[in-house]
Chain A
Amino acid sequence: MTISSAAGPDVISTLYADHQPWLRAWLRKKLGCVDQAADLAQDTFLRVLSSQQALPALNEPRAFLTTIAQRVLSNYWRRQKLEQAYLEALALAPPQFELSPEERSILLEALIELDQMLNGLPVLVKRAFLLTQLDGLGHAETADLLGISVRTVKRHIVKAGLQCYFGSTAADLI
């Protein structure tokens, strides 16, 4: 990744020097872990650096950093939650379907990506989309399974498709 920023390097290094320790402390309070806080503080500054947008006039640098850090945090928690769900799902899969460790990790990466693309859609919309497009179920079968009408299934496919096929995949970029 090439890092270019509309803000000059000086602005950023000042921002870093003045507020990085504060940000780390702020993140530590949220996370309860020093190492995680340091990592996420780093991620936050990386986002600032790689942003193509001009930095706002930084009268309130901490408010600005907090906004970005909030996004980094919510992404982090989202990923944690997904990993948790994933591990539970793996544990519940029938034993003859055991996956190798490598397959597990690659599947998780694919799921994180897919999850981002489906981000924000209601669960029923996601399920209708996955059942029809991933599993190749018919509209009627899907409707039965989800307890909704065929018409609604079709609407859900269009809705999920607009976001998945045509929406931005890089959600949450600043």
Chain B
Amino acid sequence: MLFRFDRRGPYLMAAATGSAPIPKAVAQQALEWLVDLQSTPRPPKALENFQRWRAQHPDHERAWQRIEAFNGQLQDLSSPVHSAITHATLAHPATAKRRRAVKTLAVLIFASGAGWMVQEQTPWRRWSADYRTAVGERRKVVLADGTQVILNTNSAVNIRFDAERRLVDLIAGEILVTTAKDRQNSPRPFLVQTRHGRARALGTRFSVQQLDDATCVKVLHSAVEIAPVSGSPTLTLQAGQQARFTASTILPVLPVSEGSTAWTDGFIVVLGLRLDDFLADVGRYCSYALSCDPAIAGRRVSGSYALADIDKLLDTVSAMLQLEQEIITRFWGRQVTGIRLRPRSRIS
């Protein structure tokens, strides 16, 4: 599931409900300020005058807040693809025009938002990958040579086997590999490729996880050789060792913590892990972001939790550490985008 509708039921925009009506004259003024502030060049002293107006009367402040709240929500639709679809759906009754609108907007997007392309590329690669898993999903795959690959949550791989090598291209996420002996006359090496470099299996069982800024390799049996893309010296990890590497450097070797492959059974097992690290790890299994108040980031979490029920996991941890959950939403409250743990407020 990428989105959840159910956690706290549908929300309505605060602006649309509850509070007392705002006089039309004030609404009109607020809108004129909006237009002025968005003008280029901005009229002289617009900002000072606007702030004076805003402070003049509580209604002014309320009117302005309503605009800000609405536009804040609107931002959820402002990615190029959402925006193009929004325009085409809402503002173009005729099909031919709609088609043109989507095309025009796509052009605008390509022309103006190079940054977006980068972000949109990865999901696309992921969608077209040979094997992939959704958030919260796990999948076991047996490759042509008998090698077993388990994909963790939100992961994607392409399989590139040829006469020379057995290559798994890890596009995103994490895999646990149990290699099989290659039955060809001259056995081919088994490699896992990430953005940051390669891991070459010298034995049987290891996991590779692609993070944003590094790749993490954990060796459970035999050994794995890791090689960053930059061509800097390789390193051989033995069973029970793990290391992260970036495109240029290998970071210090650490022992593999117990329970690091518990995910293959649908659990997360931790012992005295920092709360912020714990939430970052659990966050991989749900579609919304998990975070916590910096003041409690260093609190320790231990235990074994089922990954199939993140709500329950969060409830348990909150109860244990005496925390409360703050729900962060968008799309007019329809989608939960985040849950933030914070100390319980005194009055509750």
Give the nearest-CB partner of B90 in chain A.
A115
Could you tell me the distance between the alpha carbons of A82 and B92 in the complex, rounded to whole angstroms? 10
A39 touches B (CB below 8 Å): no
Q: B39 to chain A: closest CB distance in Å?
A: 6
Q: Are B89 and A111 in contact (CB under 8 A)?
A: yes
Residues of B within 8 A of A100 (CB): 2, 134
Q: Are B124 and A95 in contact (CB under 8 A)?
A: yes
Q: Are A140 and B83 in contact (CB under 8 A)?
A: no
Could you tell me the distance between the alpha carbons of A143 and B21 in the complex, rounded to whole angstroms? 32
Q: B2 touches which one: A102, A111, A166 (CB < 8 A)? A: A102
Q: Are A133 and B91 in contact (CB under 8 A)?
A: no
Q: A158 touches which one: B12, B28, B82, B117 (CB < 8 A)? A: B28
Interface residues on A, range: 35 or more
Q: A161 touches which one: B67, B88, B92, B134 (CB < 8 A)? A: B67
B253 touches A (CB below 8 Å): no
Q: Are A113 and B332 in contact (CB under 8 A)?
A: yes
Q: Are A158 and B31 in contact (CB under 8 A)?
A: yes
Could you tell me the distance between the alpha carbons of A78 and B278 in the complex, rounded to whole angstroms? 46
Q: Are B66 and A166 in contact (CB under 8 A)?
A: yes
Instruction: Give the total number of A-B pairs whose CB atoms are below 8 A apart.
Output: 150
Q: Are B102 and A93 in contact (CB under 8 A)?
A: yes
B348 touches A (CB below 8 Å): no
Q: A111 to chain B: closest CB distance in Å?
A: 5
B99 touches A (CB below 8 Å): yes
Q: Are B71 and A92 in contact (CB under 8 A)?
A: no
Residues of B within 8 A of A105 (CB): 3
Q: Are A158 and B89 in contact (CB under 8 A)?
A: no
Interface residues on B, range: 35 or more
Q: What mask results when residues 73 to 116 of chain A are scored 1 for a CB within 8 Å of chain B, else 0?
A: 00000000010011011101111111110110111011101110
B129 touches A (CB below 8 Å): no
Q: Are B81 and A126 in contact (CB under 8 A)?
A: no
> Using a CB-CB cutoff of 8 Å, which residues 187-202 of chain B contact chain A?
none
Tell whether A157 pairs with B35 under 8 Å between CB atoms, given A98-B127, A130-B91, A169-B13: yes
A3 touches B (CB below 8 Å): no
Q: A164 touches which one: B1, B70, B84, B99 (CB < 8 A)? A: B70
Could you tell me the distance between the alpha carbons of A98 and B90 in the complex, rounded to whole angstroms? 19
B277 touches A (CB below 8 Å): no
Residues of B within 8 A of A162 (CB): 24, 27-28, 31
Could you tell me the distance between the alpha carbons of A131 and B38 in the complex, rounded to whole angstroms? 12
Q: A88 touches which one: B16, B27, B34, B95 (CB < 8 A)? A: B95
Q: A43 to chain B: closest CB distance in Å?
A: 18
Q: A114 to chain B: closest CB distance in Å?
A: 6
B232 touches A (CB below 8 Å): no
Could you tell me the distance between the alpha carbons of A103 and B214 in the complex, rounded to whole angstroms? 28
Q: What mask results when residues 316 to 348 of chain B are scored 1 for a CB within 8 Å of chain A, else 0?
A: 000000000000000110110000000000000
Binding site for A on B (CB under 8 A): 1-3, 5, 12-13, 15-16, 22, 24, 27-28, 30-32, 34-35, 38-40, 63, 66-67, 70-71, 74, 76-78, 80-93, 95, 98-99, 102-103, 106, 117, 120-121, 123-124, 127, 134, 287, 331-332, 334-335
Binding site for B on A (CB under 8 A): 82, 85-86, 88-90, 92-100, 102-103, 105-107, 109-111, 113-115, 118, 123, 126-127, 130-136, 138-140, 154, 157-158, 161-162, 164-166, 168-170
23 contacts between A and B (CB under 8 A): A85-B92, A89-B85, A93-B84, A95-B124, A96-B117, A96-B121, A100-B2, A102-B1, A103-B3, A107-B82, A110-B77, A111-B85, A114-B90, A123-B91, A126-B91, A132-B38, A134-B83, A139-B39, A161-B31, A165-B31, A166-B24, A166-B66, A169-B16
Q: Which 4 A-B pairs have the closest CB atoms?
A: A89-B88, A97-B81, A169-B16, A102-B2
